[in-house]
Structure 1
């Protein structure tokens, strides 16, 4: 862990900025337990050098500017021969051990910036001379690992084995979360250092650039937190003009702030082993020792091997857990899909399995918002509060899926609904409308134990020249509120897959509706043509029936009996009624075929003309109230028929009243005008209002009131062709009001 302390808010401050900008890849120095030589790969001449341990060299004449074969002891000739061919393009390689007098050094080489980096690390006489000496410990670890059932088991075994191999005082396995805070999930130690098990450390303890170095170089050792760095000379490479990048160096010097951090923690030596998953940093095996100590090269190699095995085990167990979770959720999803397919409408299908709907994401409540409807399932905010969430989702960048385990931190005012919706998982189910499927989780109050107060910040020294890290690592507890249980990756994937299925169903239904609409349009056109042809052709025969029946009565009436005379009258009345019906049918079919010819219409004048045509000169006993009516654009002939049908109905159904009244008025909302005709006649039952505007639909017997049942159908068709709508309100024996709304402007067809 590095030198930096974090604030719980994550706001960039002095300590974070300072460490993020520190050039830790090019520190310009090494740790003193060895020597580092920078070689030209072609000439093998030493271009730069940092000599911490002079016993690594053949003599005291220095190394810079000399061929490497002359710098090292004669026994190294075979090691450095064809050195460029021995070093791989990436990663480091061990070149064996080199003895110089009484000292032994491990030789390790890698490439950096077009140069060869040769490192000589001093070995102790007691450390293993080969990996074979350490392998029995590794083999035991591998045997025990077969019985590990969980990541926690794997971590505990790794902590135990690494401490057994290294002999260090404390070994911890440290896991990062999505915000790069780290939690100690396993620990093995003696009593020389305190326990940090289950404690959390802030993300800024290991800044981003340090995490990247952990990813590139899996193992790092600091043998003595009080060491004096050995500078690399010259600072810039004479050939490249740049400082040497030590990302893969085993002797790389570390930040002085981090060394102070170690001393504040009471650890004089540390070693870190990176745990990777899919090439990304998952966590660390972090080792500490109270006293300065050197961990042997082959021991570190064994620890590196353990780290790689643990990384693979973690990846395998996380993948297995994720696959198991996915499989369970796929079963739930299959049931939901079957229900949606059976229902035809996805909302109906989802509501048929509300338990599955919640189980798909592990939510406590859900809401389906489609068009103007909002359906709630389980523990949810109110409809109004859900509408507020939808408005917030619609106002932001439109995304197919939104995931939050802290809605109060993302949406203003959401703290009011924390008990139902501290967590939100929302999927958009329409590209055109604000339609969503939302899942909710309640607040889960948690207590987090930190390794020191994360609010403590690094401080500048009195001279303002350098940062000093925090000094306390005692357990500090924080209560976390306004957050739900986090949404798991498998749950988010399941929600995304459900969204795809819903969108597919909606699109398929839309395509089916479009195809059906196209067929209906074609059928309607055929029916209109048929009705027009039939009604047109039937007009003449009915007129002939009426005419000849009347002639028969006129010229042969004297010979007819009373019964025959009555039969003739019935034939005439029936033929006239049938002819009227045919005329109405012809008019109805023409309404769908004729083109609109919109003009500016004075509605008061039009109503007055229709009224006079119906009543003649004698207005009768009906009491008329006609308000000033706004003018609109429309087809005068068609709208005349609308008024004629409505006024005829008002007169017909109010004529039996002692004091019949008819009121005509309108309202103007700026975009459209709504006209109405109100009477105090027989009215109708609102339970049957849906039948009023249908063809041949009558709410009264033909014996009571004459008519063909087509007039109101004509009204509806004409109004809709003008882009408006027609409706009615009434009570049985309490009168009726018929409305039709027209836009002020009508487009010419």
Structure 2
């Protein structure tokens, strides 16, 4: 990583982490910055990129707000005095002499008010509304994205389309703050960095914190000459002015050299913040200098915030589902141990779930000198040596976890193939008793953007010059353990200690686990409600306000844009509501009673009358039996299935919907059959998944959650769901309700 910069002078990278990046004392040369005293609104410091402007309108230094720049900012006084600490406010566009209209933003930070006036970019959009079609295309695209990876790929394409940069990358941080390029869109001007990793030192901690606070940063030209911040004599010796929130803030010479070494003349970053933490960056590069206009940056920031919310929701949903799956395994293991004084034998009778609890390939149970192995493990002798070593370690809360055991303990080299990763819980305060899970060595090839270890002696550290892919083979390391693995193991420890060894009340611990599961689902519901509902309400509300205040001045296209905004936001709100209903369905208490299916179907059908007003549907309803089930949940099942049948026969000339029943030795089988548009059986496995749709939303409305709810409800009743269909010939949906003893006689 050591080299000298192009001019021959050295730049000390070792001090990058301590460099005063918030207080550079200069700005980039694309406008001007004024630093005001909050009490008097007098200019205490200024940086003006164009010296002719000072000659034209006078030097603002030491002048009050109403006299600077020919009084163009005089009316902003009340807004500036009301600005809260740590906030920013867009003041609009203001004419600055012959320099044209400058985009004006005020920031309140520390003991200063900072006003930055950014010079316009020739040909820039007149307003954010001009960019709305691009934003709308992005929002439509992410609705179909099934994974976080797909979200990132879509964002990379749309940001590059908006900005015109040569290369746009989505850069994700790992737990050690190394970064990896997980998605990329580019032309052929700059090379691909896809899948390359970059060391933590490339973006030091203080820079990451600034990225977290300020969502957008632009360096328009790596060869720019900084414009110094000039102060009035009275504050000449005061602490440096914090320019952290200012877009025009000058950047580190080390970073400019880094850009030159990388071959990028301009760069822009948009922060991706998930759950309040910096998840990654949307990083844009251009070979030549390039300024991105204010409104384009605002659109990119908006896309970055949407991407952040979507990533948060998807990651939270995956985490909650994973925890619930592990909890189900936990319950099965607890069921094995309940009432059995020999917990080692009880766990051994369910080896599959014991290993699945932490997604391991082997496990050892060591208690009172006895060692029982399950799956792929070191030998008993090696495990007992490991126990002795574990006993000597400082365990954090009765748990020890590593994915590099051979690096931590040399003797583990002998069995690295089966146990490079170890997760161990102590199950006794008296004996050397452990449950230990093992993961094998996984030999991986990691591609770095340059050799992260490379150092040239006799030269001071400077930005590295090589960004060629450098391959590192990682050995003696397993797949990492995550929080879900650790929590699952600790919950098992609680079960062993409290339920088996101490013979505590079995149901108390079980209820505790279920309560945690409910709290996680409630937290997920709150996150969705809080993070997604409010922005959509704001979009609808402000769009309607804009319609009421400026509707007469809008042309037909602009009115259509507003209508589309409101419609899209309301549709997204419906999606959120359906998602919340889906998450709540998994934790609702079931109250099973004897219920008449015929009466329930008739009631649901009549309540759906409004959905097919004016259409003559041939309803064929056979005799349906009584079943033992939760009436509220079964009502939702029939409501979803019948509503779908009504919807998908909408374009059929003679619509017919049949509801029937069959029975086998163990369950009642119900079906809803229609002669509507049907579906392709190649995609039948997708039908009951969340957000899975086989028809475009423009053809048939819906969010793709209804059948997922049907599947979840029937599964909770112990039943099955499946479907049969043919394109253009209709579809049949089946579900079953198992017999309760004696109810089918």
TM-score range, shorter chain: 0.5 to 0.7
The structural deviation recorded for 1:111 is 1.2
Query: Which residue of the partner structure matches residue 259 of structure 2?
Result: 262
Query: Which residue of the partner structure matches residue 494 of structure 1?
Result: 488
- Structure 2 alignment gaps of length 5 or more: 4-10, 507-745
The structural deviation recorded for 1:346 is 2.1
Structure 2 residue 99 is matched with structure 1 residue 105: no
Query: Which residue of the partner structure matches residue 323 of structure 1?
Result: 320
Query: Which residue of the partner structure matches residue 746 of structure 1?
Result: none
Query: Which residue of the partner structure matches residue 290 of structure 1?
Result: 287
Counterparts of 1:95-494 in structure 2 under 5 Å? 95-100=91-96, 101-234=98-231, 238=235, 241-399=238-396, 400-457=398-455, 467-494=461-488
Give, in whole Å, the separation in 1 of the partners of 2:479 and 2:232.
51
Q: Secondary structure at the match of 2:400?
A: strand
Give, in whole Å, the separation in 2 of the partners of 1:27 and 1:434.
58
Matched-pair contact (CA < 8 Å) for 2:498–2:504? no
- 1:63 corresponds, among 54, 60, 64, to 60
Q: Quickly say closer, same or farther: Cα 1:190–1:132, change in 2 above 3 A.
A: same
CA deviations 1:430-486 (Å, max 9, x no partner) are: 22332111100110000011112212348886xx6xx52111111111111000011
The structural deviation recorded for 1:403 is 1.5
Give, in whole Å, the separation in 1 of the partners of 2:12 and 2:424.
37
Q: Secondary structure at the match of 1:348?
A: helix
Give, in whole Å, the separation in 1 of the partners of 2:146 and 2:441.
31
The structural deviation recorded for 1:345 is 3.0
Q: Count residues with an aligned counterpart.
A: 497
CA deviations 1:223-244 (Å, max 9, x no partner) are: 1000111122239982992111
Q: Quickly say closer, same or farther: Cα 1:31–1:118, change in 2 above 3 A.
A: same
- 1:508 corresponds, among 479, 502, 506, to 502
Give, in whole Å, the separation in 1 of the partners of 2:375 and 2:217.
52
Give, in whole Å, the separation in 1 of the partners of 2:99 and 2:17.
42
- 1:33 corresponds, among 8, 30, 33, to 30
Give, in whole Å, the separation in 2 of the partners of 1:43 and 1:352.
78
Matched-pair contact (CA < 8 Å) for 2:13–2:254? no
Q: Quickly say closer, same or farther: Cα 1:379–1:50, change in 2 above 3 A.
A: same
The structural deviation recorded for 1:4 is 9.2
Q: Secondary structure at the match of 1:389?
A: helix
The structural deviation recorded for 1:157 is 0.6
Matched-pair contact (CA < 8 Å) for 2:33–2:115? yes
Give, in whole Å, the separation in 1 of the partners of 2:238 and 2:184.
45
- 2:85 corresponds, among 81, 86, 89, to 89
Matched-pair contact (CA < 8 Å) for 1:456–1:470? no
The structural deviation recorded for 1:379 is 0.9
Q: Secondary structure at the match of 1:456?
A: coil
When the two chains are superposed, the root-mean-square deviation of aligned CA atoms in Å is 2.3
Matched-pair contact (CA < 8 Å) for 2:254–2:462? yes
Q: Which has the larger radius of gyration?
A: 1
Query: Which residue of the partner structure matches residue 696 of structure 2?
Result: none
Q: Secondary structure at the match of 1:209?
A: helix
Q: Quickly say closer, same or farther: Cα 1:330–1:226, change in 2 above 3 A.
A: same
Give, in whole Å, the separation in 1 of the partners of 2:307 and 2:50.
35
Q: Secondary structure at the match of 1:44?
A: coil
Matched-pair contact (CA < 8 Å) for 1:35–1:120? yes
Matched-pair contact (CA < 8 Å) for 1:457–1:470? no
Q: Secondary structure at the match of 1:450?
A: strand
Matched-pair contact (CA < 8 Å) for 1:42–1:84? no
Matched-pair contact (CA < 8 Å) for 2:13–2:463? no
TM-score, normalised to structure 2, is 0.64
The structural deviation recorded for 1:54 is 4.4
Query: Which residue of the partner structure matches residue 732 of structure 2?
Result: none
Matched-pair contact (CA < 8 Å) for 2:2–2:454? no
Q: Secondary structure at the match of 1:95?
A: strand
